[in-house]
Structure 1
Amino acid sequence: MSEQSMVVQRNKNAVAWLTINRPEAYNALSLECMQALIYHLKDIAKDRSVRAVVLSGSGKGFCAGHDLKEMTAEPSEALYQQTFSTCVELMQTIQQIPQPVIAKVHGIATAAGCQLVASCDLAYAADNTRFATPGVNIGLFCSTPMVALTRAVHRKQAMEMLLTGQMIMADKAQSIGLINAALAPEQLEEHVTEIAEQIAAKSSYTLKVGKEAFYRQADMEQAEAYAYCSQVMAENMLSEDAQEGIDAFLNKRQPCWKGR
């Protein structure tokens, strides 16, 4: 399977739909698969016609985590370092591209697959989806998934998942903040499409500014965050799209975004 075919992309209504295409392996994140995702995401980042991204998995589940068969076929520290550094690049790319990334989750999302969900800006799941960070069960603590998980959910909830390795259902994942909503499987596609297209109707410039500021301020002290975000808003106010949006609001018309 070629690098590109491991990830399938289709664009519709300013939304890029990315599907991990390894159904025979529960969409496990092999090196090539992660590299393909990074390639697509970085390419999307340069495409001004795309204003939102939906990430999903083919077959029976969203993503089962790293490809353990690949990692144990010819074990070496160099392979492990490359695997985990590529995983880190993938998770950071999701949060660094200007477009919001929405996870559409079904079946299972475990280990690095759960990390993938936690790294996306928004996440919606079928209500029969199961989530876990089960590395502890096989002697491999989910340390890199822990980074994303502890930034998405309460620490004690994250620790319970990491220490027990137990599966949790979508309703629990929603209650702890790992996903935005759990929906009936037949409603998932329609709901995610509605959210993605609602976001894609906004100014691409404003989305870029807001997403970047969200992640930068999250690790700041409150006073520093307010100072930074005040400057961001002042600069945002001077943009063409903010001027257009305010004028459209005051004059009760639809805005015409320029993306700047």
Structure 2
Amino acid sequence: MMSDEEPLVRKYSDSGITTLTLNQPQSRNSLSMAMLEALSGELEAIASDADTRVVVLAAHGSVFCAGHDLREIREQFDDQDFQLALFHQCSKVMQQIVSLPKPVIARVAGVATAAGCQLVASCDLAVAADTARFATPGVNIGLFCSTPMVALSRNVSRKHAMEMLLTGEMISAVRAEEIGLVNRAVDEQVLDETVYGMARTIADKSGHTLKVGKEAFYRQLEMPLAEAYEFTSTVMADNMQANDAREGICAFLEKRKPDWQDS
């Protein structure tokens, strides 16, 4: 049992990797307003934390995240202002993940549904236990997963996204890997090894380079081809002036490990 003093989101940092763990297993780690505000606060702090190079988003318990807290929503059926504030807060958190100047890896064990599936899709990378399952089941309860649709449709093809949204059916981790919702579906016994192995590999890179690359990736996605090439050419030319680019190139040519300055 958790005490009342335990945080909604636990935070642990080690060797440049910060793990944020959703910590309400008794409510299936649902995204209540309080949970969303706690997660938003942690992401805001990490954004300016020079010691964090990679973020792992995990969950305590057998469910990764069941989406919005339907009991909370039922209590506020007649308060449309609250409903709008809730969905705006959720959208803010998803955009914070995308705009965070550090890569974010979802570590998924268990079920991720509705806004929980949206949370996985919003992360830059995702690794799931092969026992994990995913769904956008809002259609089953008369509340179409419209905001989860935004992240889902930017990660998988239109027809795969529409199949999940229109049927509301669960898909396996293996199927999620096939359609691109997660990077890897692995045996649960090697989930942490896979997630933190990936995180350590990324954390070993220049923090400045990761920031530049992540920002450029999401910006160019929405551009026409010629505009994307014009934009990324400028990004690369600017990146070339960074200390870490010069150090990295010299280290490669001199066959030594680079000494990153994160600038």
Q: TM over 0.5, yes or no?
A: yes
Q: Which of the numbers 61, 65, 68 marks the counterpart of 1:59?
A: 61
The corresponding residue for 1:153 is 156
Q: Which of the numbers 12, 17, 41 marks the counterpart of 1:39?
A: 41
Q: How does 1:198-209 map to 2 (within 5 A)?
A: 198-209=201-212
Q: How does 1:14-25 map to 2 (within 5 A)?
A: 14-25=16-27
The corresponding residue for 2:182 is 179
Rounded to whole Å, the distance in 2 between the matches of 1:259 and 1:74 is 46
Deviation, 1:90, is: 0.3
8 A contact 2:76–2:83 mirrored in 1: no
Deviation, 1:127, is: 0.3
Rounded to whole Å, the distance in 2 between the matches of 1:179 and 1:3 is 33
The corresponding residue for 2:228 is 225
Q: Secondary structure at the match of 1:5?
A: coil
Structure 2: 5+ residue stretches without partners:
none
- Aligned-CA RMSD value: 1.1
Instruction: Show CA shifts across 1:54-80 (max 9, x none).
Output: 001101111000001111113210110
Q: Which of the numbers 29, 32, 42 marks the counterpart of 2:31?
A: 29
Rounded to whole Å, the distance in 1 between the matches of 2:259 and 2:36 is 36
Instruction: Show CA shifts across 1:4-35 (max 9, x none).
Output: 80000000110000000000011000001011
Q: Which of the numbers 48, 58, 64 marks the counterpart of 2:50?
A: 48
Cα distance change, pair 135–3 in 1 and its aligned pair in 2 (3 A): farther
Question: Is 1:168 aligned to 2:135, yes or no?
Answer: no
Rounded to whole Å, the distance in 2 between the matches of 1:217 and 1:163 is 29
Cα distance change, pair 82–4 in 1 and its aligned pair in 2 (3 A): farther
8 A contact 1:3–1:32 mirrored in 2: no
Rounded to whole Å, the distance in 2 between the matches of 1:46 and 1:241 is 19
Rounded to whole Å, the distance in 2 between the matches of 1:2 and 1:221 is 51
**Which residue identity is paired with 2:62?**
K
Rounded to whole Å, the distance in 1 between the matches of 2:243 and 2:193 is 33
* TM-score w.r.t. length of structure 1: 0.98
The corresponding residue for 1:194 is 197
Identity %: 55
**Which residue identity is paired with 1:71?**
I
Q: Which of the numbers 251, 254, 257 marks the counterpart of 1:254?
A: 257
**Which residue identity is paired with 1:64?**
A
**Which residue identity is paired with 1:253?**
R
Rounded to whole Å, the distance in 1 between the matches of 2:183 and 2:100 is 20
Rounded to whole Å, the distance in 1 between the matches of 2:75 and 2:26 is 18
Cα distance change, pair 3–123 in 1 and its aligned pair in 2 (3 A): farther
* TM-score w.r.t. length of structure 2: 0.97
Question: Is 1:79 aligned to 2:86, yes or no?
Answer: no
Rounded to whole Å, the distance in 1 between the matches of 2:51 and 2:11 is 14
Structure 1: 5+ residue stretches without partners:
none
